[in-house]
Structure 1
Amino acid sequence: MLIHKGNFLKRKSASALLAAALAGFAVPLPPAHGAALATAAVRAPDAVAAEFYGWFLATLDADQDPLSDRYERLHAYVAQPLVDQLLKRGQGAGDYFLQSARLRGAWLRAPVRTATLRRQARVADVLVTLDGGGDAQHDVVLTMELDNGTWKIRSVSRAAVDASKSSAGRPGI
């Protein structure tokens, strides 16, 4: 298409003309279809954490080792560097994710409660409460990362209920 500008003729592409014509209209264009689906499909980190601990506790209660007997399912929730670290240790994953020496039966009967403490871009800290009433209540803090549209656990630490017991390795609540 030829455009007369001043004394010169300049050739402009149809897409450039359309863009120039639309520039006068402040009509926002919708995001690419794939980007919209990816954004909508990302579940909240606290929802993923609750689902993980529900599955994890049921797996332990069935006397199965999540790291060896249910590796594929564990890998769906846990970041690869942490999986590699747990495999290198060569011990069961139960103590790491619970941050406890034993599994309490009360934790199996009560729903897992979760809350997102902090979320920044691709990293979130999630408080997980395993409630068994009274002294059986147990809190851990997960650091999770967004990995290909899925929140995965990168590390777990025992939550300190007293700020004086809090440290980088044991976040306070």
Structure 2
Amino acid sequence: MAVTAPRLKAPDAVARDFYTWYVGLMAHDKEPTDEPQVYARYVSKSLRASIARQIASPDGMEADYFVKAQDYMDSWIGHVASTPAMVRGNTAQTIVTLGSGAKPWRLSVRLAKEDGGWKLASVSRR
């Protein structure tokens, strides 16, 4: 009997799962560092280090890195979608939409393969 390797989760699914988890944290006034194992599962080592440096800097962070805003909208809870990822080698790009209705919040999310899976490598406002 042949044993197959576990299937790599699609990068857009990883991004969608991350934002579903992350918006839930925000809604409960928690930080991703409150759940370090989950945070490490979704976010690349280099991005985690970069965010930690920004937080520790004299200027700190002006807005939340992952949502590019100072707060979340209630409409984001339960409304996270992502486009099919464009994969190029070990990187992928997807658009994550938070919320529904007239004013959805869109983010461009780049992911990189790391430790056998896709992890967020950068986020920008779309």
Q: CA deviation at 1:70?
A: 1.7
Q: What does residue range 81-96 of structure 1 map to in structure 2 within 5 Å?
A: 81-90=46-55, 95-96=64-65
Mind listing any 5+ residue stretches in structure 1 that lack a counterpart? 1-31, 160-173
User: 2:12, 2:85 within 8 Å by CA — same for their partners in 1?
Assistant: no
Q: CA deviation at 1:149?
A: 1.8
User: 1:45, 1:151 within 8 Å by CA — same for their partners in 2?
Assistant: yes
1:125 to 81, 84, 93: 93
Q: What does residue range 93-132 of structure 1 map to in structure 2 within 5 Å?
A: 95-110=64-79, 112-132=80-100
Mind listing any 5+ residue stretches in structure 2 that lack a counterpart? none
Q: What does residue range 1-173 of structure 1 map to in structure 2 within 5 Å?
A: 36-37=4-5, 40-66=6-32, 68-90=33-55, 95-110=64-79, 112-135=80-103, 137-159=104-126
Which AA in structure 1 matches 2:94?
V
TM-score of the pair, normalised by structure 1? 0.64
Distance of 1:128 and 1:84 partners within structure 2: 23
Distance of 1:144 and 1:105 partners within structure 2: 26
> Between Structure 1 and Structure 2, which shows a larger proportion of helix residues?
1
The DSSP-based 3-state class of the residue aligned with 2:84 is strand
Q: CA deviation at 1:101?
A: 2.4
Distance of 2:83 and 2:91 partners within structure 1: 14
Between 1 and 2, higher relative CO (CA 8 Å, sep ≥ 6) is seen in 2
User: 1:107, 1:131 within 8 Å by CA — same for their partners in 2?
Assistant: yes
- Identity of matched residues, %: 28
User: 2:110, 2:120 within 8 Å by CA — same for their partners in 1?
Assistant: yes
Cα offsets for 1:107-150 (capped at 9, x unmatched):
1142x111134211111001100123112x00001110111221
Distance of 1:116 and 1:146 partners within structure 2: 16
Q: CA deviation at 1:64?
A: 0.5
Aligned residues: 121
Distance of 1:95 and 1:47 partners within structure 2: 22
Q: CA RMSD in A?
A: 2.0
